[in-house]
A and B are shown apart, each in its own frame.
Chain A
Amino acid sequence: MSTSVSPIPAGREDAPPTPIPVAGDSLRARTERFWLPALAILVVLGIWEIVAQINGLGIWVQYISNPIDAAKAGWNMATSGELWHNTTGSLEAFVIGFAISAAIGVPLGLLMGWSRIARELLDPPINFLNATPRLALLPVIVVWLGIGLKSTIVVVVLDAVIPVVFNAMAGVRDVDVRLVQTARSFGASKPELFRKILLPASTPAIITGIRLAVARGVLGVIVAELYVSTAGIGHLIQTYGQAFRVNQVVFLVILVAVFGQLLNLALQKFERRFESWRGV
């Protein structure tokens, strides 16, 4: 059984760590793995409900909503069509922004992995961008591009492009030198080397980058819409938040969290397929 330090996630920054490894694969361990979390979630919901019911705890209690009211609020939003209408708005911004991030990030990262001059020239600005909280650029982007889909997309791209670039670059740089030397010895031209060695070998890293980008993209859409927008889940949260209708806010926040986490898990599965294909 391996107990060695698992590597720090690929890419240099803000890679969400992989799940805490849990040992054991017996039937008992597996059933436990299902009912323990389920139980924990129920317990938390129960505590939440009870705390919300006890009004003697102080004034904060009325601000934390409670599971039953939040669920009711969610049901009402879903049946009135409000939820669906705004979800499509947010998804549109997310998908477009995400596609642009991949389209910019992958070639840029490959270039930076491939050419040393490109890397040394582009590394400082990209690192600067990476160290800046890009969501703080929201007001700037809104002043430049106005309120609406365009601003949201740009915020998503700024946030999501970075893990793609870093991971694509790391992917190219981590390619086994012997593979490159062998290909060279057999007379591979530069384009051949790129197409047949570097690109396939760096695919798993690129997919990791894309997975990290998804999480950031989701957050980017919500925060951008929260700041200023005319439609979308973030807009919905903002509308209810301004009216201090906490039930709706809490429901929507949990909804987004579940969506982001499910997407992340799905991509992790996808990622593992590629890892095994590479045969690490």
Chain B
Amino acid sequence: MSFRLRPFLLGTASLVLICVVWQVLVAANVLDPFLVASPSKVGQALWNQSKSGVLWTNIRVTGIELVVALAISTAIGIPLGVILGWYRRAAEALDPLVWLQYSAPIVALYPVFTLMFGLGSNAVVALTILLTVSPIIINTARGVRSVDRRLVQAARSFGASDGELFRKVVLPGSMPLVMAGMRLAIGRALIGVAVGELFAGNAGLGYSVSYYGGLLRTTDMLASVIVIGVIGVLLTVAAGVVERRLDSWRVDIS
């Protein structure tokens, strides 16, 4: 077990400390409870939301959007990335466009997407795909490019066909960078889903932040924010675990 107790304890302590300070400041009337609620109130709100089922509906909507968007952008991004990594000319031609797309404020296109798809999950998914596809493309291309040329030459010498070369050398060799791209994409997908829902959603966690904010129900709003945060942490941890799993066969030779 490589579980380290000390960082874990200190980390928990600091999160608990933040909650205690928050609660005390509210109880002492330093902070306005109308604006910042308090940990106990947020806990209460979460409990109520979960009992009434609102919480689970929101999580389900957001979760489905996240999964669908990630699946589609992976299906588009990895083949495109492989092409860009494999053909130098394709990379040179399309590189600036991919980067431009990467730095574009995609969320600002939400009026266009609501025109196309209407308010709701479809528009959110479309926004999220545009946000997540570029890190996948860029990292897959870099991964393919990073494959050891000697391995490719050796496989060729032993008569590997293009398909075999791809399946047995290029794909495993580019895995670490592909996974790094996926990790970035997961982070951006959560941003895309949450922010997309702020603007173009009609349900889900991001939408409920905006909805409760509009009603000035700060406690419920903060409860939704915290759920989004927790999902973010869980996704980050899960992505890290998967990344290590998929890459565990690699032996470092220096």
Contacts and interface: CB of A to CB of B under 8 A. Distances in A.
Interface of A: 3-6, 8, 13-14, 16-24, 32-33, 36-37, 39-41, 44, 60, 63-64, 117, 120-125, 127-129, 131-133, 135-140, 142-144, 215, 218-219, 222-223, 226-227, 234, 237, 240-242, 244, 246, 249-250, 252-254, 256-258, 260-261, 264
Contacts, number: 221
List of 5 A-B pairs having minimum Cβ-Cβ separation, nearest first:
A139-B213, A241-B111, A131-B232, A257-B104, A124-B11
B233 A127 contact: yes
A41 B142 contact: no
Contacts of A256: 104-105, 108
Interface string B215-233: 0101001100100110011
B233 A128 contact: yes
Contacts of A261: 99-100, 102-103
Nearest to B148: A3
Interface residues of B, number: 79
10 contacts: A3-B148, A21-B142, A22-B95, A135-B195, A136-B194, A136-B205, A136-B225, A137-B209, A226-B108, A250-B112
Nearest to A64: B112
Nearest to A4: B146
Given A3-B148, A218-B103, A257-B100, 14 more contacts: A8-B176, A17-B139, A19-B95, A20-B95, A37-B97, A125-B14, A135-B194, A135-B195, A137-B209, A142-B213, A223-B107, A241-B110, A253-B104, A260-B103
A140 B191 CA distance: 16
Nearest to A44: B97
A274 to B, nearest CB: 22
Interface of B: 6-7, 10-15, 18, 35-36, 84-85, 88-89, 91-97, 99-112, 115-116, 135, 138-139, 141-142, 145-149, 176-177, 180-181, 184, 187-188, 190-191, 194-195, 198-199, 205-206, 209-210, 212-214, 216, 218, 221-222, 225, 228-229, 232-233, 235-236
A151 B6 CA distance: 37
A238 to B, nearest CB: 8
